[in-house]
Amino acid sequence: MASTAEVERYLSEALAIGQFKDYGPNGLQVEGRGELRRLISGVTASRALIDAAVDAGADALLVHHGLFWRGQDGRLTGWLRQRLAPLFAHDINLCAYHLPLDAHPLWGNNAGLGACFGWQADQRFGEQQLGFAAALPQPQTLEALQQQLRQGLGRDVIALPGDGRALRRVAWCTGGAQGYFESAIAAGADVFVTGEISEPQAHLARETGVAFVAAGHHATERYGVQLLGAHLAERFGLEHRFIDLPNPA
Ligand SMILES: [Zn+2]
């Protein structure tokens, strides 16, 4: 058991939240009870995940995608009221860590995705140094990498060929980081792996010869909360369970 305040203080420091310019607040977003025993983690603070946390008897819910994104107008009405009501009714804390949890070298989404595929980052790149890059354990074709990602992530992935070169260096950034493709190219990657694709990346891949892979926003961002949840469980003697709710995006 641990106090909510103590865990929040620890996370603020361990994840260096003050060092990031982010799209929403990092840390405790909805305050619940002051003592924690059971921690539930998941990717996004959706109504379905909050309901699952209630069913699981959670004292706190740890997510990567929280609430109150830049551009939201702040009114707690309609779907947002309905989403939050069970947290208040059951006194559950909601803790969200966005970019700090993409970036963390041990517990972050990028670190976790890399570990899953044997990519040991030897380089960081891009805005706020969120991108990771590594030499592949051995040179491989795009088809082989695509197959490996399909198997590891349990879903189809979109792969755009570059100039057909053997892939030696991989750059990656989980989630909606398609805008990092150019900085990945500048960092010397042969292939860039992220969650999503938008229209411009197809042209950039053709014109620069660097391959591009979109492997799913949700699928690539399931690592951070699991790694962090396991760490908190050990450090503070909590129970922890990750709940994965399918998302095709
Ligand atoms: Zn994301």
Ligand 1 centroid – CA 192 distance (Å): 17
For residue 64, the CA-to-ligand 1 centroid distance in Å is 7
Give this prediction's pTM: 0.96
Task: Determine the pLDDT at residue 82.
Answer: 97
- pLDDT for position 60: 98
- Confidence (pLDDT) at 72: 85
From ligand 1's centre to the CA of 91, what distance in Å?
Answer: 26
66 Cα: distance to centroid of ligand 1 (angstroms): 10
- Tens-digit pLDDT profile for residues 103-156: 999 999 999 999 999 999 999 999 999 999 999 999 999 999 999 999 999 999
Q: What is the DSSP letter of 57?
A: T
Residue 124, C-beta contacts closer than 8 angstroms, at least 6 positions apart: 130, 131, 132, 133
If phi > 0 it is left, if psi is from -120 to 50 it is alpha, else beta; for residue 57 that is: left
For residue 208, how far is its CA from the centre of ligand 1 (angstroms)?
Answer: 26
Q: What's the gap in Å between 65 CA and the centre of ligand 1? A: 6
- 217 Cα to the center of ligand 1, angstroms: 6
CA of 167 to the centre of ligand 1 (A): 26
Contact 39, 62 (CB under 8 A): yes
- Spans of the chain below 50 pLDDT: none
Question: What span, in angstroms and rounded, lies between the C-alpha atoms of 103 and 224?
Answer: 9
Check residue 168 and report its DSSP letter. E
DSSP state of 129: G
Residue 51, Cβ neighbours under 10 Å: how many? 13
**From ligand 1's centre to the CA of 221, what distance in Å?**
6
Task: Say how far apart CA 58 and CA 23 lie, in whole Å.
Answer: 26
Residue 245 C-alpha to ligand 1 middle, in angstroms? Answer: 15
CB count in 10 Å sphere of residue 226: 20
Cα 196 to ligand 1 centroid, rounded to whole Å: 10
Contact 145, 134 (CB under 8 A): no
Are 116 and 134 in contact, with CB atoms under 8 Å apart?
A: no
pLDDT at 73: 86
